Amino acid sequence: MDVDSVKKHLQEFFIQSPLVLIGSGLSLGEGISGMWHLAQHLKEEIPKLVEGELLEEWKQVEELIDQDVGFEDAMASLKQGSELVPFIVSETTKLIGKDEKSIIEDVVLQEKQLSFSLLLDQLLHNQIELIIVTPNYDRLIELACESVNLDIITGFNGCYCGIHNPEGEKDKISVIERKRNLRGSSEVRVSVKKHAKIFKPHGSLDWYEVNGSIIRSSYEINARRLIITPGTSKFREGYQHPFDYHRELSNRHIQEAKSILIIGYGFNDEQLEVHLLNKLREGVPALVITKVLTANAIRICGSLNNVTLVSVGGNDNETKVRIDGVETLHNENWWSLKEFINGVLK
């Protein structure tokens, strides 16, 4: 397949109004710490915060990390309901929040443009509502949407002390027009603005629990953060509010999707994977754009001809594209979302 045919195939995918599934690879490319950096941060900070049995429990996790079993697998060794989890959540949010703050400042000061914001025109040219599912805690997707004046729906009605109220939030995207017809009577027309619905089944840096209530606050407050860390807590807390709402709606939209765009996602989330795997095996068209294909991604997508894979080749200046089971190599770095947009879609 020549390069023009490859580009044409990739361009035609965006005619299909895909659901978008975004993993940590996108954030990593913008400057958010990845799993390796998070593991090193926790190894340095957690021993300063705990002692006794909790320290011994952490040392066992640390040993697994050092044995290269994988950060998520190491975290899964935590005891059910471990008292280490609040410390891990706190340190995780400190690290990611610090990275995120620097990126937000650069975007707001117009010193940086997020790659996902560049993609939004391609995703919204033929649909009013863009569905985005992400296990990421950071708010770069929300920032990318707002930076191009796209309204977002997150399930929370408000930014500083917003309650989780998906029904009430719908009003912000409704446009009511009153017009007089030729007979002089008034007609009311209700339309919907273009918007993105963002589902975050693992929580977000701006979700908090305050006296038993779930709120969203873009201002950092001294309250319990609502994020689900890798490991056993994922399965316990993933079925509590508001995680259950976001997980269930994510899976419902995946089940209904006519096509799926997957960016920087490693296929390591069992809560989403069941529905995603079923959909891919049904033959729904899918496009995966990522730097490195994880072992799970290869295992799941490797034999599915309905899934197009775009990943790094032998070096960072080479891209491997797999279409209908046939691989081609290109002297381009299309595995980078920004370069994919510039090199393929423009």
* Token digits of residue 2: 């020549």
pLDDT band at residue 333 under the 50/70/90 scheme: very high
pLDDT band at residue 135 under the 50/70/90 scheme: very high
3-30: average pLDDT:
95
* pLDDT reading at 150 higher than 80: yes
pLDDT digits (tens, 9 = 90+) for 219-239: 999 999 999 887 655 444 545
Q: What is the pLDDT of residue 4?
A: 93
* pLDDT reading at 100 higher than 70: yes
* pLDDT reading at 268 higher than 90: no
Q: What is the pLDDT of residue 168?
A: 78
In sequence order, the 6+-apart residues with CB closer than 8 A to the CB of 96 are: 32, 33, 38, 137, 138, 205
Q: What is the pLDDT of residue 231?
A: 64
